[in-house]
Structure 1
């Protein structure tokens, strides 16, 4: 494969990192899934500024890879028409929360690649972002499906030196649950109290973090899955790494925008109800955000 095209859905923080990672390897287009959308023009990585070369998608552009970086609530309605319109495209899901991954995998099979990233960025102006978390992006293929040729190329060392650090993960489900646990703690607490991620390490929030981790592990046990060891330490470690970040949920609550609470704590509460596992702490934080006016 000499040339290929990636389509990004959701040109926010993760979408911007994805563009910066891809743009030297392929053409990068953006799907305008909401009106009046604008694109950042610059990403700062440590002490270096990188110009971003992405444009909105032409109507009939052929697409090889679709990168989903938008909010979980937008995923199904946005993605299903795109996968039908672009039958040769594979989709890489990088959104927060759980639920859409399983539904899309059931409908579109091995075209769906489920991902999780620990990379992060912070908006510094209307046109600029700065990378603030330097993790990796793990990608799980469905069953024994082959890796799409475009992704094979992106995984080559010379193509994989950008900010997202792509990696194939044979066992992606435990990765998703670990990130779900972290989000179930950091997102609603920072959103409700309107604090930055690093501030949840304070003593006043630790009891809630411990309780949430315990309830998530009870759900995992009921599902026959391994527990997440040292959950509170993991949450506090991520909070320290991303200390200066505002979680997307905190920003959404502050701006009276829809949040992803249904796909994070809401998903976990529903799992607990189905499995007869009590989840009072998860439910408390779910209600605090779900019942926020205009959320």
Structure 2
């Protein structure tokens, strides 16, 4: 089984290193030839949660220059780029790779990307995925595994049939690499639940400029969290998410468990990069408009992050 990882950010490097360490064939596809050359020469430098370091050899190429030899149905394409990078050009390249029958694992935050991917990937090959693992990219070939977590995946759209052979093989490969993997037939609900968490933590840490644990530690910020959570949960339940009585407590636990982490949106704001706000808060606003329900809190944080992006 070959793992083709599109995107050499924190998640791409972390999962690429862990899978390669377990003896799997891993190909990292980058945007730049400079990063691909560095990865071929130096490998991935992985700092584990206990501080131990290792250097992991991988194959690497740019997505434009990659010419695979005999892709097989059991091969997997891990899509680890942010939604902002899902350009028409990249989608065409993905269509080229999936023509051989290999499956796609889409690890983007927010919503909307799966509709785009469905236009270039046969539905039986498209899988939604969410991960709760913590990772921080140090440089173009170095990554720090900052927090434990699982990866959950399943067919998109929902497939009532039993798990496919490629899905079973991927689950076995994850377990063999020491990665907690779960196969779900309810990925729409899983995606909405992850969106609910991201819709509170990501924009508010970006607006207030604080780490995850500092968000809930301040009474004023806690009120923002509560209001944003209540509104987002109401909209997502209206859209089809099942209600979970413990969702607020789960959100607080995540902030506590990842207290020292900077959210990806905060890092993007600090670095002056385009954030994923359009697909997170903007995704909830779009759902609210379709259902003709109000979303003032999500509209507010969407506007605030967009303003920070332009300054």
If the length of structure 1 is used for normalisation, what is the TM-score? 0.89
2:253 equivalent in structure 1: 237
Corresponding position: 1:256 with 2:263: no
What SS does structure 2 have at the residue aligned with 1:21? helix
After the TM superposition, which of the residue ranges 260-269 and 237-246 deviates more from structure 2? 237-246
- In structure 1, the residue matched to 2:201 is 186
- Could you say which residue in structure 2 is the equivalent of 1:46? 49
For structure 2, the residue ranges without an aligned partner over 5 or more in a row are: none
Return the offset for 1:216: 1.8
Change (3 A) 1:35 1:267: farther
Aligned-residue CA RMSD (Å): 2.4
CA contact (8 A) 1:118 1:137 kept: yes
The structural deviation recorded for 1:104 is: 2.0
User: Could you say if the C-alpha distance between residues 124 and 18 of structure 1 is closer, same or farther in structure 2, counting changes exceeding 3 Å?
Assistant: same
Aligned residue pairs, count: 291
Return the offset for 1:159: 5.4
Residue 196 in structure 1 maps to residue 207 in structure 2 = no
Q: Distance in 2 between matches of 1:195 and 1:89?
A: 41
Return the offset for 1:227: 2.3
CA distance in 2, matches of 1:20, 1:150: 21
Choose which of 14, 17, 23 in structure 2 pairs with 1:17. Answer: 14
Name the counterpart of 2:231.
215
Verify: 1:174 aligned to 2:165, yes or no: no
- 1:161 CA displacement: 4.3
- 1:45 CA displacement: 2.1
Match of 2:94 in 1: 82
SS in 2 for 1:43: strand
Alignment of 1:52-63 (within 5 A): 52-57=56-61, 59-62=66-69, 63=71
1:103 aligns with 2:109: no
- Structure 1 residue aligned with 2:283: 267
Tell me whether 163-172 or 94-103 shows the greater mean CA deviation: 163-172
1:163 Cα offset (Å):
5.4
Q: How far is the alpha carbon of 1:125 from its aligned partner?
A: 5.3
The answer to whether residue 4 in structure 2 is matched with residue 7 in structure 1 is: yes
Per-residue deviation at 1:80? 3.7
In structure 2, the CA distance between the partners of 1:36 and 1:228, relative to structure 1 (3 Å rule), is farther
Counterpart for residue 287 of structure 1: 303
Structure 1: gaps spanning 5 or more residues: none
- 1:120 matched residue in structure 2: 134
**TM-score, with normalisation over the residues of structure 2?**
0.84
Match of 2:25 in 1: 27
Instruction: Provide the rounded CA distance (Å) in 1 between the counterparts of 2:189 and 2:281.
Output: 17
Contact 1:209 1:232 in 2 (8 A): no
